[in-house]
Structure 1
Amino acid sequence: MEQDNPFGQVLVALVTPMTHDGEVDWAGVEKHIDDVISAGADGIVVTGTTGETSTLTDAEKLKLVVVGKEVSAGRAKIITGGPSNETAHAIQLAKQSADAGADGVMAVTPYYNKPTQAGVLTHFRMIADATDLPLILYDIPGRTGIPITYETILRLAKHPNIIAVKDAKGDLAQVSRVLNQTELLYFSGDDANTLPLLSIGATGLIGVTANIASQPYRTMVDAVNAGDLRTATDAHQRLEPLVRATMTHVPGTVATKYILHGLGRIKSPRVRLPLVGPEEWEAALIEDELDLVRDVEGASFTNFRPDRNAAAGGALPRIPGTTR
């Protein structure tokens, strides 16, 4: 029996557009959400890593859900990301996000605390128990310091609300084992590995580069669904330099905002501290990669105008991110 998919297949890990002084640019948020949905996204993860969840206040996180629902108007699912490395706070945010209208929750492995797998298991189960929303486990040991082990994933898969994994671990053998033994849906959490994961049975992606170009991922997913590996591989190869520009030189959020601003799609490339814009040499590397981008649907760089000065440094918002 195959698991029903309430999320769609092409999901965007949304950046949070901000003003130069680090406040959320709400008009920019609305425009960007509309842009990515129009470009083929089935769903949007707001307040995830790419959305700068660590430096957003709870009020901002919940407003992003509300605004996402209003702008999408049923055209795409809105999933709340994060939510916290403190279980009590994560439960609270999940409940508040459900009340705000979220269609799902994506919960990351507790970072910094480094709990045992028993702690990981309890953390996720309690978040899943807190609402009726479907939950995506986010497995990204490079950021959290610990993985969700194969055995823990199998145990979590038995929870009725835990239905998917966003995988940024890159262990395709483990993914295959889990797909064989559970009904969990898998989403690529590493843009470069989207096609490899799809090829072994993953459902879709939760992508950063998709902020810039959702259409090629739509093409890739539709081709895989149709068994057309040639078309899927062509989309993968065309995307490769854009993925490299976005994901390899600075944090994905930083590069994505830098690129979107250079394309005139957001008003400022600003990020909140401790993130900072690319230094001169990093910006040069990003721009060199972009020079190699050819024929990517929805992303013409003919009029790309990067602004290194606008991106420099990071902002301190008026209100710091708070736990409760």
Structure 2
Amino acid sequence: MTHSDSSTPPFGRALCAMITPFTEAGVLDLDGAQRLAGRLVAGGCDGLVLSGTTGESPTTTDAEKAELVRAVRAAAGDGVPLVAGVGTADTRHTVDLARAAEKAGADGVLVVSPYYSRPPQDALEAHFREVADGCGLPVMLYDIPGRTGTRIEPDTLIRLAGHPRIVAVKDCAYDLLGTQKVLSRTELAYYAGCDEQILALYAVGAVGYVSTVANVVPEQFRAIIDAFDAGDTGRAARLQRRAMELIETMMASGTPGTVTAKALLTSLGLPAGPVRAPLRDARPETADALRAAYARLAAEPVV
């Protein structure tokens, strides 16, 4: 059994929303980014998302974003799709970042809804079209109303699906009915953007996922979709449930996923470094809970 869906994964199936490593002085750690990217690819990630929410895009400079793409491209090679987060609250700035990502070697761009200004749906649609028209890369729309304050409504997504460069959606809308409506009426490639929904969305036609928790356990999530593709849906469900303690500890404990991912990676001796203000590094008790959840998951091999 293979995963049956009319959409083709434009950026791979198993994507990690990669953290952006910094040195202890808070400087971009390009060597660390390359080492982490290599580990993620070796662990089953067939695509990487850079400078997204987990990558601290609001607090990295335009130059740092381009440098990160170039460094990870050099480490990962040409066979691993790189999707660069370029979304901002300013349409012109977003277009500029998309063009810079294209020049730096990205394979696609992740474009979040403009935040704070909360544009109505017609303005939101025009924003995405202007970005897609302004660069030569395929676009993944990022629907995360809990952070932006604005939902990309299903009817808007259906209209945007007609644009030749708008090809995918990172879905963090928590609206299974709306997601299935778009899946049934378009060829958009859906990626689960919330780790607890990976199997659920994959089962109804998503092509893969963009995972924060995969920074730490990339093999775990790749195993879920591989089991589903092999027809072993029971095992896929067991693997998803087995990951839930770590998912909850990292993503639903009141501490941002960027913070928890960096804390756990640091405890494992992997590239991460501090987060940038206004975020703050994890409290000791949070780090302890993360290590404990990780240890329990790691004690059971992915088989």
- TM bin (shorter chain): over 0.9
Q: Distance in 1 between matches of 2:71 and 2:295?
A: 35
1:37 equivalent among 29, 37, 41: 41
**Paired residue type of 1:150:** P
* 77-86 or 32-41: bigger deviation: 77-86
In the superposition, relative to structure 1, how do residues 294 and 3 fare at CA in structure 2: closer, same or farther (>3 Å)?
A: closer
What do you get for the CA RMSD once the two structures are aligned? Answer: 1.6
Tell me if structure 1 keeps the 8 A contact 2:41–2:76.
Answer: yes
Q: Residue 252 of structure 1 aligns with which residue? A: 257
By how many angstroms is 1:173 displaced? 1.1
Q: Residue 139 of structure 1 aligns with which residue? A: 143
Q: Distance in 2 between matches of 1:188 and 1:164?
A: 11
TM-score (norm 1): 0.88
Q: Residue 311 of structure 1 aligns with which residue? A: none
In the superposition, relative to structure 1, how do residues 142 and 109 fare at CA in structure 2: closer, same or farther (>3 Å)?
A: same
Q: Distance in 2 between matches of 1:51 and 1:72?
A: 17
2:275 equivalent among 248, 271, 275: 271
1:155 equivalent among 121, 141, 159: 159
**Paired residue type of 1:115:** P
1:25 equivalent among 26, 29, 34: 29
Q: Distance in 2 between matches of 1:139 and 1:80?
A: 15
Tell me if structure 2 keeps the 8 A contact 1:213–1:297.
Answer: no
Tell me if structure 1 keeps the 8 A contact 2:10–2:189.
Answer: no
- Aligned counterparts, 1:122-201, within 5 A: 122-201=126-205
In the superposition, relative to structure 1, how do residues 284 and 265 fare at CA in structure 2: closer, same or farther (>3 Å)?
A: closer
Q: Residue 301 of structure 1 aligns with which residue? A: none
By how many angstroms is 1:192 displaced? 0.9
Identity rate, percent: 38
Q: Distance in 1 between matches of 2:226 and 2:263?
A: 29
**Paired residue type of 1:265:** L
Deviations along 1:235-255, whole A, 9 cap, x unmatched? 112211121221122100100
Which runs of no fewer than 5 residues in structure 1 stay unpaired? Answer: 299-324
**Paired residue type of 2:269:** G
Tell me if structure 1 keeps the 8 A contact 2:22–2:274.
Answer: yes
By how many angstroms is 1:294 displaced? 4.7
Which runs of no fewer than 5 residues in structure 2 stay unpaired? Answer: none
Partner SS, residue 279 of structure 2: coil
Partner SS, residue 45 of structure 2: coil
Q: Residue 313 of structure 1 aligns with which residue? A: none
**Paired residue type of 2:262:** K
Give the 4+ runs in structure 1 shifted more than 6 A: none
